[in-house]
Amino acid sequence: MIITFTPNPSLDRTIGLSGRLARGEVQRAVSSREEPGGKGVNICRALEASGLPSLAILPGDDLDPVLQGLRTAGIPHLGMPIGAAIRSNVAITEPDGTTTKINVPGPLLSTEQQHALIALVLEKAEGADWLVLAGSLPPGVPVDFYADITRQLRARYGAAAPKVAVDSSGAPLAAAVTAAPDLIKPNGEELAELTGIPDADALEADPALVARASERLVAAGVGAVLATLGASGAVLVTAAGAWLAQTPPMIATSTVGAGDSSLAGFLLSTIAGASAPDSLRQAAAHGAAAASLPGSTVPALNQTRPGDVTVTSLVTHPKEDVQ
């Protein structure tokens, strides 16, 4: 069982264009999709599509369109009423897969609501294999929110606590790292910010540099780093080694939720007992499959092609580019 917690979920609308996005111009869409979203929600959608039990926990009233969408899709979920509408985000996709996202802040959560959400997550996490803390934080929530949940979870359950994965960015991710989660899943830009590397583009183009940056985080207590790098592939670093996964070249349909699908693929494979390199292989296959689908559609396991993914070991050496 995998529990995901998305404190800032969304109703994701994806609009497809027939050509490039033109600022200041009127353009006609060729497609439009609406789906319940947020990183943890997307992960649960991908897990359920592949038959792995999961539960999405999120703030939201029972009649909110996001929760109604989850019910319609048959995604197990548990919402905590907050008396406010869940935000709506917009993604605009171009024919070459270029995606422009517009994310709004989300509703304000009071201190009492934050405490109630933490209590709900801790209660439902009992007996789970993984707890995934996913996405941005809504207004009013302190940046150490995920770190606090991680510490409370381990204090409550000790050795029986679920493993913790964090998929966030910026200050919340940096704070979460101090609580030594079992896994983090940054993209190249998030990893660059987290490790102080000034050139995110250079980082994404250099898997060895990604591995060295990730090794710093593992040395600091993080169990594993799964860095998704878009067309450049994905890198996994643990205390046992570092690996690069690459998929055949493709033209993406939409990159919305591809990273979430990658994490779902990794967790699916890990729970099945696969090795670290094979779990990375499935993560890359899931991400590629998601990028080939419209909107924020997530792939099922049988829609992925792990056999097409090449995984190689990375040999890293300390350099001045990673302090």
**Positive or negative torsion for Cα 293, 296, 302, 305:** positive
- Greater confidence (291 vs 187) lies with 187
Nearest in space to 167 (alpha carbons), one of 216, 107, 227, 256 = 227
Return the number of other C-beta atoms located less than 10 Å from residue 212's C-beta. 22
- Which domains does the chain possess? 2-6+37-87+105-313 (3.40.1190.20)
State yes or no: pLDDT of 318 exceeds 70. Answer: no
**How confident is the model over 261-279, as a mean pLDDT?**
96
According to DSSP, the residues that pair with 226 across neighbouring strands are 236
- Greater confidence (250 vs 76) lies with 76
Query: How many residues are recorded in the chain?
Result: 323
Confidence of residue 321 (pLDDT cuts 50, 70, 90): very low
State yes or no: pLDDT of 222 exceeds 70. Answer: yes
State yes or no: pLDDT of 232 exceeds 70. Answer: yes
Encoding tokens for residue 177? 């790292």
Please check whether residue 254 is in contact with residue 293, taking contact to mean a CB–CB distance below 8 angstroms.
Answer: yes
State yes or no: pLDDT of 322 exceeds 70. Answer: no
State yes or no: pLDDT of 319 exceeds 60. Answer: no
State yes or no: pLDDT of 320 exceeds 80. Answer: no
d(CA 281, CA 278): 5
Return the number of other C-beta atoms located less than 10 Å from residue 317's C-beta. 6
**How confident is the model over 217-233, as a mean pLDDT?**
94
Give the phi and the psi of residue 11 in degrees, each rounded to 5.
-95, 110
Confidence of residue 323 (pLDDT cuts 50, 70, 90): very low
Return the number of other C-beta atoms located less than 10 Å from residue 185's C-beta. 29
Q: What is the pLDDT of residues 85-130, one digit of tens each?
A: 999 999 898 888 788 989 999 999 999 999 999 999 999 999 999 9
Confidence of residue 184 (pLDDT cuts 50, 70, 90): very high
DSSP 128-144: -SEEEEESPPPTT--TT
- Greater confidence (146 vs 201) lies with 146
Q: What percent of the chain has pLDDT over 90?
A: 78
Encoding tokens for residue 125? 């996490």
